[in-house]
Amino acid sequence: MLDVKPASRDEISLVHHPKLVSTLERICREEAPGIIDYAPTYVTQSSFDDALLAAGGVITCSRAVLNGDANNAFAIVRPPGHHAEPDRAMGFCIFNNIAIAARDALAHGLDRVMVIDYDAHHGNGTQAAFLNDDRVAFLSAHQWGIYPGTGWLTDAPHARGRIVNVPLLAYAGDQAYEQVADQIFKPFVEAFKPQMIFVSVGFDAHWSDPITMLGLSTQGYLTLAKKVVALAEEHCGGKIVFVLEGGYDPLNVANGSEAVFIAATGKGESEARDPNPHKEPDCESRIDEVRKWHGF
Ligand SMILES: [Zn+2]
């Protein structure tokens, strides 16, 4: 456990435009409660301060790993962040916590960091933040065709091999994600050689999530977390920070978080208690398409 302080305005500005920050502060303090986008993103009078604290929490985890005070970390924060773009808050996200911490790591001496996002939804905000920043590689594996509507594999043709989208078919589950980890995460990390990996982990890709249609089980989440931890150990001295994003069944968030801790500490094991009851589609041709587009 680490002591956390709220992110400063300067730290938030590593990703977000100052005008967005001041507008959100005014809306939360003077006009809340209310809805600020169609997701709908609901804010209260404390939301601005909550969002500063969430971003500060991820920065604290990241610096602890960077400084060697922690081997790795898991930032369990709310509100989440991966939909928040540099100039707009959206999708239940106020500030893009993971993008801010990644930029902070760059400001503290790193040259190359990677963000891997396996929330069920496309990490449009993180993609927007790093669209033209060659120091950051971004990968999002998500269900194609749901909110926010972006995340097709050709979204960023100028950044092949650096901005990678894996638009998955509905009901893709443990088998498809394992293929994605082995056939896309692995060559991506090997090619980019990040010095630190950040993971946007959302538990809404679980088969029982009420707002998406994917097929991961808790066991699948554990396998995925173990695979990214192993990649970090092999390529960046184990430096990895998991950051909580979505998840709309609290039980899945609890079980999935336990899986992250098991993978990060190497202690404990989870039981296969919630196998996916749905049949998985074959995602091999989609995975091949992504590999070919990026030359992996
Ligand atoms: Zn999500």
Cis peptide before 86 (omega within 30 of 0): no
Judging by DSSP bridges, how do beta strands 42-43 and 240-244 pair with one another?
unpaired
Catalytic residue among 83, 121, 142, 206: 83
Ligand 1 centroid from CA 211, angstroms:
9
- Active-site annotation holds for 83: yes
Quick check: helix, strand or coil at residue 140?
A: strand
Percent of the chain with pLDDT over 70: 100
Q: How far is the CA of 68 from the centre of ligand 1 (A)?
A: 30
Q: Look at residue 253 in the predicted model and tell me its pLDDT.
A: 97
Statement: residue 60 has pLDDT above 90: yes
Q: What are the backbone dihedrals phi and psi of residue 50, each rounded to the nearest 5 degrees, phi first?
A: -60, -40
3-state secondary structure of 50: helix
Tens digit of pLDDT for each residue in 141-179?
A: 999 999 999 999 999 999 999 999 999 999 999 999 999
Global pTM value: 0.98
Q: How far is the CA of 69 from the centre of ligand 1 (A)?
A: 30
Position 284, amino acid: E
Q: What is the pLDDT of residue 271?
A: 77
pLDDT in tens, 68-81: 999 999 999 999 99
Average pLDDT of the segment spanning 252-260: 97
Q: What is the pLDDT of residues 194-224, one digit of tens each?
A: 999 999 999 999 999 999 999 999 999 999 9
- How far, in Å, from the CA of 134 to the mean position of ligand 1? 25
What pLDDT score does 272 carry? 78
Distance in Å, CA 120 to ligand 1 centroid: 5
Confidence band of 269 (pLDDT split at 50, 70, 90) = confident
Q: Give the mean pLDDT of 53-66.
A: 98
The pLDDT score that the predictor gives to residue 68 is 97
Tens of pLDDT, residue by residue over 121-136, are 999 999 999 999 999 9
273: pLDDT strictly greater than 90: no
- Report the distance separating Cα 25 and Cα 233, nearest Å: 40
Helix (H) or strand (E) holding 168: strand 163-168
CA 37 – ligand 1 centroid, Å: 16
What does the pLDDT look like over 86-100, one tens digit per residue?
999 999 999 999 999
